[in-house]
DNA sequence: TTGAAAGCGCTACCAG
DNA sequence: CTGGTAGCGCTTTCAA
């Protein structure tokens, strides 16, 4: 920067102002900008952050970057925060809370302006770290009872219950549920709990749950799972799956076995992934606006940042996101 | 850090050494670490980077984070680089070179240690910026003729030609190709060019190409595309699709039309995505080790960094990744 | 094994 | 609108 300043015959401060788009006379600005371009000068963000005491980072943690759900949420966050000059520092927790803690710790070193987490469960240390950092935090995709700060999510349990009621209304009675064997995928686990609760509430007998494979289960788990379900309870009329991925796998297995869906057995998914509306038959599912969660979460963080800037008190808020049961051909 | 130092009764330097795991007596180390834990002190990475002149960032640019191909590559990069204390700075170019340029510019501000790009095409300004940054660069998923630095990839064109030959060997003659309408997805475009070249080389008549939808096309584009193909050339025996996603969409459309795959028409995909082996019928495809590309790319960057550290000359290298045609049920 | 001083490249702050 | 000064929190370097 000294270099640029010298060549332009101005002080470093003026160069800094040009870069920041502050008050600089037209003539000076153009002259400085020209030198910057010629030299290909790129300002050092670390020095800027150190000096100003504020970085442009936003720490974002998702369980998996390969799930289109979460990558949509990340896109939403980026859409909301990018225009404000904020840079996402992305981390993939692989559905593990210890990994989340590790990443939070490492990201906090970069003094992020705020943090977006997925889910409402975290290690005690994670909560502590975040608390001490004293920056806005948003938890997404869940409605925790003891939020850290702000929340943008919905009840996975309630969404699953809505699907059970939907199937019940369509006349299905003997329903099963397919899920992963572990609780790693908390939101999937919550859906399963919702299914069980609603089955009980409707007096539909004992829940028929097949738990197979490490959560979150994907397409390939759907086939063996529905196989196991039909082996255990051959008279099952409908199957809810923890996600559209496993529902798809289940439907393909039905094709292989010569079972018609929904004629012989109905199958429902969760998430409204692209496969759910491209599949033949199209898959009845629960739609959640993953991108919208990201956008809303970004907006909440922005608002918290603005409040803090203005010296206003920090209000914790919880934004409840809608979900919709989408009736299609498979159930 | 001064705070920690004071309470521990040592100098800042000793605290710094404890954090870096350098030579510090056992007793001192434990005492300092205890204070660090008590205070929940987290060192400022920006200050460290400024002072030492080296960040721990690696800039990584992929066309899309939602494609499992690229998120696998990102996982591979992380697996190779994470253990060395490097932090990925992820960017999604949305398949646009101008977006890539923007992101490179913004990431360069953080003085990354090295850069991983997807593809071999970049704007002139991107190349310039990278050149001037003077740090190791790896281009992935392609074999550019004029690489910036290091390369880890394969020829998409050659891979598509291999698939044409495979189908030819299986007895198919009248083959079509489904792709997106734009050239945004360069690698998809290269596959299409490979198809055309091989069709010509084998003397199989005029290429039958349907280009529909903005690249990269996904599941939902497969259905209308195969419809258009069959409308235009009803006697087509086999269809190659630019990706497994579109192949899946095409197969589902065949089901809807009561066409048997491969009985009435064969369909092949590209990428060996999960859907290709879960689909009924399973999809014949080309397998590429996306995760491996990331790992190899990470290793190349590490090697370049080590060379540089040791003061060795920098060798540009190109690593050619294998691909395999996987014969399944759909073709 | 530990400490003191210097300085990384930038921005806040106050002067002019 | 522009410039000078101080200092952000660390690490490097050298000395003890």
Q: Report pLDDT for A311.
A: 80
Confidence of residue B246 (pLDDT cuts 50, 70, 90): very high
Written in H, E and C, the secondary structure of B219-284 is HHHHHHHHHHHHHHCCCCCEEEECCHHHHHHHHHHHHHHCCCCCCCCEEECCCCCHHHHHCCCCCE
Left (φ > 0), alpha (ψ -120 to 50) or beta: where does B264 sit? alpha
Under 8 Å between Cβ of A238 and A165:
no
CA–CA dist B119, B137 (Å, integer): 12
CB-CB under 8 Å, B88 with A42 = no
B198 min Cα distance to partner chain A (Å): 31
Average pLDDT over residues B265-283: 97
Under 8 Å between Cβ of B272 and B300:
no
Percent of chain A with pLDDT over 90: 89
CB contacts, 8 Å: B49 with chain A = 46
pLDDT of B189 strictly over 90: yes
Under 8 Å between Cβ of B302 and B83:
no
Q: Report pLDDT for B311.
A: 80
CB-CB under 8 Å, B68 with A278 = no
CA–CA dist A73, A142 (Å, integer): 13
How many Cβ atoms sit within 10 Å of the Cβ of residue A26?
Answer: 7
CA–CA dist B46, A19 (Å, integer): 19
CA–CA dist B273, A193 (Å, integer): 31
Give the DSSP H/E element, type plus range, for residue A150: strand A150-153
Nearest-CB residue to A109 (from B45, B89, B129): B45
Nucleotide nearest to B3 (CA to C1'): D9
pLDDT of A316 strictly over 90: no
Distance B25 CA to C2 C1' (A): 10
Q: Report pLDDT for B312.
A: 80
Distance A14 CA to D2 C1' (A): 7
Tokens encoding B16: 């710094």
CB-CB under 8 Å, B111 with A44 = yes
B168: contact with A, CB 8 A cutoff: no
Q: What's the N-to-C CA distance of chain B in angstroms?
A: 65
Under 8 Å between Cβ of A323 and A159:
yes
pLDDT in tens, A198-232: 999 999 999 999 999 999 999 999 999 999 999 99
Average pLDDT over residues A36-56: 93
Nearest-CB residue to B106 (from A87, A133, A277): A87
- Residues contacting residue B265 through CB under 8 Å, at least 6 positions apart: B226, B230, B236, B237, B238, B239, B254, B259
Asked if strand C contacts B12 at the CB level, meaning under 7 A, the answer is yes
Cα–Cα nearest to A156, from A198, A122, A186, A180: A186
pLDDT of A87 strictly over 90: yes
CB contacts, 8 Å: A218 with chain B = 274
Strand C nucleotides with an atom less than 7 Å from a protein beta carbon: 1-5, 7-13
CB-CB under 8 Å, B71 with A78 = no
Residue of A nearest to B48 (CA): A46
Average pLDDT over residues A120-136: 95
A94 min Cα distance to partner chain B (Å): 10
Average pLDDT over residues B12-22: 90
pLDDT in tens, A110-125: 999 999 999 999 999 9
pLDDT in tens, B53-72: 999 999 999 999 999 999 99
How many Cβ atoms sit within 10 Å of the Cβ of residue B12?
Answer: 13
Percent of chain B with pLDDT over 90: 90
Under 8 Å between Cβ of A130 and A147:
no
Distance A34 CA to D4 C1' (A): 24
Q: Report pLDDT for A6.
A: 87
CA–CA dist A144, A141 (Å, integer): 9
Average pLDDT over residues B94-102: 97
Nucleotide nearest to A50 (CA to C1'): D8
Cα–Cα nearest to B331, from B225, B251, B243: B251
CA–CA dist B117, B91 (Å, integer): 10
Residue B311's Cβ-count burial label (10 Å; 0-12, 13-18, 19+) is: exposed
CA–CA dist B225, B178 (Å, integer): 6
Average pLDDT over residues B131-157: 96
CB contacts, 8 Å: A88 with chain B = 90
Nearest-CB residue to A280 (from B43, B45, B252): B252
Average pLDDT over residues B204-223: 97
Asked if strand C contacts A1 at the CB level, meaning under 7 A, the answer is yes
A204 min Cα distance to partner chain B (Å): 32
Tokens encoding B216: 């990269």
Tokens encoding B68: 């499992």
CA–CA dist A306, A50 (Å, integer): 21
Nearest-CB residue to B219 (from A87, A105, A275): A275
A50: contact with B, CB 8 A cutoff: yes
Tokens encoding A250: 């289940």
Average pLDDT over residues B153-177: 98
Strand D nucleotides with an atom less than 7 Å from a protein beta carbon: 1-5, 7-13
Q: Which residue has the tokens 């004071």?
A: B6
Confidence of residue B51 (pLDDT cuts 50, 70, 90): very high
Under 8 Å between Cβ of A137 and A104:
no
A239 φ, ψ to 5°? -125, 125
A54: contact with B, CB 8 A cutoff: no
Q: What's the N-to-C CA distance of chain A in angstroms?
A: 65
- Bridge partners (DSSP) of residue B139 are B117, B151
CB contacts, 8 Å: A259 with chain B = none
Cis peptide preceding A56, ω within 30 of 0: no
Average pLDDT over residues B185-208: 97
Under 8 Å between Cβ of B283 and B328:
yes
- Residues contacting residue B183 through CB under 8 Å, at least 6 positions apart: B189, B215
Percent of chain B with pLDDT over 70: 100
Under 8 Å between Cβ of B74 and B90:
yes
Q: What is the DSSP string of B163-213?
A: HHHHHHHTT--SEEEEE-SSSSSHHHHHHHHHHHHHHHHTT--S-EEEE-S
B197 min Cα distance to partner chain A (Å): 31
CB-CB under 8 Å, B278 with A220 = yes
pLDDT of A80 strictly over 90: yes
pLDDT in tens, B288-324: 999 999 999 999 999 999 998 888 878 889 999 999 9
Under 8 Å between Cβ of A61 and A103:
yes
A89: contact with B, CB 8 A cutoff: yes
Give the DSSP H/E element, type plus range, for residue B156: helix B156-169
In chain A, positions 9-68 with C-beta closer than 7 Å to nucleic chain C are 12-13, 16, 19-20, 43-44, 47-48, 50-53
């Amino acid at each position: 920067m000294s270099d640029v300043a010298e060549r332009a015959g101005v002080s470093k401060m003026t160069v800094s102002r040009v870069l920041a788009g502050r008050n600089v006379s037209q003539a000076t600005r153009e002259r400085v900008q020209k030198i910057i371009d010629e030299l290909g000068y790129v300002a050092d963000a670390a020095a800027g952050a150190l000096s100003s005491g504020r970085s442009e980072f936003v720490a974002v943690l998702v369980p998996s970057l390969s799930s289109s759900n979460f990558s949509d949420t990340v896109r939403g966050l980026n859409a909301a925060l990018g225009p404000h000059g904020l840079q996402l520092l992305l981390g993939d927790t692989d559905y593990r809370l210890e990994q989340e803690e590790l990443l939070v710790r490492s990201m906090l070193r970069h003094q992020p302006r705020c943090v977006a987490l997925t889910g409402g469960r975290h290690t005690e240390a994670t909560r502590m770290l975040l608390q001490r950092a004293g920056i806005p935090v948003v938890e997404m995709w869940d409605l925790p009872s003891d939020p850290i700060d702000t929340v943008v999510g919905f009840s996975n349990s309630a969404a699953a219950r809505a699907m059970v009621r939907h199937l019940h209304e369509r006349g299905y009675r003997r329903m099963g549920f397919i899920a992963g064997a572990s609780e790693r995928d908390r939101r999937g686990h919550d859906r399963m709990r919702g299914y069980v609760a609603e089955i009980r509430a409707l007096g539909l007998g004992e829940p028929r749950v097949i738990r197979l494979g490490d959560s979150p289960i994907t397409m390939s788990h759907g086939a063996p799972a529905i196989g196991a379900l039909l082996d255990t309870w051959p008279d099952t009329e409908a199957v809810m799956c923890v996600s559209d991925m496993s529902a798809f796998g289940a439907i393909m297995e039905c094709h292989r076995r010569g079972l018609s869906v929904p004629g012989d057995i109905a199958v429902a998914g969760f998430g409204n992934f692209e496969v759910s509306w491209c599949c033949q038959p199209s898959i009845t599912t629960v739609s959640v606006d993953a991108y919208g969660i990201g956008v809303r979460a970004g907006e909440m963080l922005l608002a918290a940042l603005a409040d803090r800037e203005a010296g206003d008190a920090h209000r914790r808020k919880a934004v409840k996101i809608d979900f919709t049961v989408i009736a299609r051909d498979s159930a």
